Amino acid sequence: MSGALLGLLAGGPRLIVSLPRNCPELASAAAEGGADALKVHLNVTHQASGTHFGSLKEERRALEEILSLGLPTGIVPGTAERLPTQQEMEELAAIGLDFFDMFARDMPGWMASFEGMTCAAAVDGEFPLESVPELDALGVEMIEAAVVPPEGYGRPLCVAALAAYRRIRRATGLPIIVPTERAIEPEDVAVLVGEAGINAVMIGAVVTGREAAGLRAAAERFAAAVAAACA
């Protein structure tokens, strides 16, 4: 199934739901709400949600249930403090993960050319824009534009963030994923797609909350906005 999300993005903007917990109930709620893809985590404490995600051994059963839904699912496999090994990456590919996503500053060099899953690199506000075109040359296939500093989490989408997304868009032809570090509203999707040229909105805890009902409702609102942006 590797490359499934890339194939979807080639057909127009999409909605990704980053799960606040590796929970099959939350994954089902996202699917019912209209998510095109999901993202899960391992070996990390997620800043926006405040949730700790365990190892593959600890999370494997939940991941397998989530994957059984059939949506392209990506993973944050670790951080600089707990980098995944090549064997672990091969195990993740073997259970059916479609893509992996790590900050470019943390990603080991060998991972950019790992062939088992699509490679997404996250860039923050300190990543030099002149280096963005080099990501493609190194094997990166998607970019997560995680440009909002932690003190900006949960605040409304601002012109400065839009300008940052536009600058990344001008620097690369790779698909760009924008996470909801800001409290992005469905009404913001049109400008993100039309003016900033992004390829996917990835909603997470900042806008979904941590419970199934709220996550489903948020997915429905954003799925409708993404569909309208495609029209």
The set of residues, in sequence order, having a beta carbon less than 8 Å from that of 73 and lying 6+ positions away, is 37, 38, 39, 40, 66, 67, 96, 97, 98
Which residue range forms the structural domain that includes residue 93?
Answer: 4-230
Predicted confidence (pLDDT) at residue 47 exceeds the cutoff of 90: no
Q: How far apart are CA 33 and CA 198, in angstroms?
A: 21
> Residue 90: what pLDDT?
96
Residue 132: closest CA among 84, 80, 83, 173 = 173
Position 53 confidence tier, pLDDT thresholds 50, 70, 90: confident
Q: How many CB atoms lie within 10 A of CB 62?
A: 20
Model confidence, pTM: 0.94
Q: How far apart are CA 173 and CA 198, in angstroms?
A: 10
Supply the mean pLDDT for the chain.
92
> Residue 1: what pLDDT?
45
Predicted confidence (pLDDT) at residue 226 exceeds the cutoff of 80: yes
pLDDT 10s digits, 65-108: 999 999 999 999 988 788 889 999 999 999 999 999 999 999 99
Q: How far apart are CA 69 and CA 24, in angstroms?
A: 9
pLDDT 10s digits, 4-13: 999 999 999 9
Predicted confidence (pLDDT) at residue 2 exceeds the cutoff of 70: no
> Residue 49: what pLDDT?
54
CATH number, domain of 78, equals 3.20.20.70
Which residue type is seen at 63? Answer: L
pLDDT 10s digits, 137-192: 999 999 999 988 777 677 888 898 899 999 999 999 999 999 987 688 999 999 99
* The total number of structural domains that make up the chain: 1
Predicted confidence (pLDDT) at residue 213 exceeds the cutoff of 60: yes
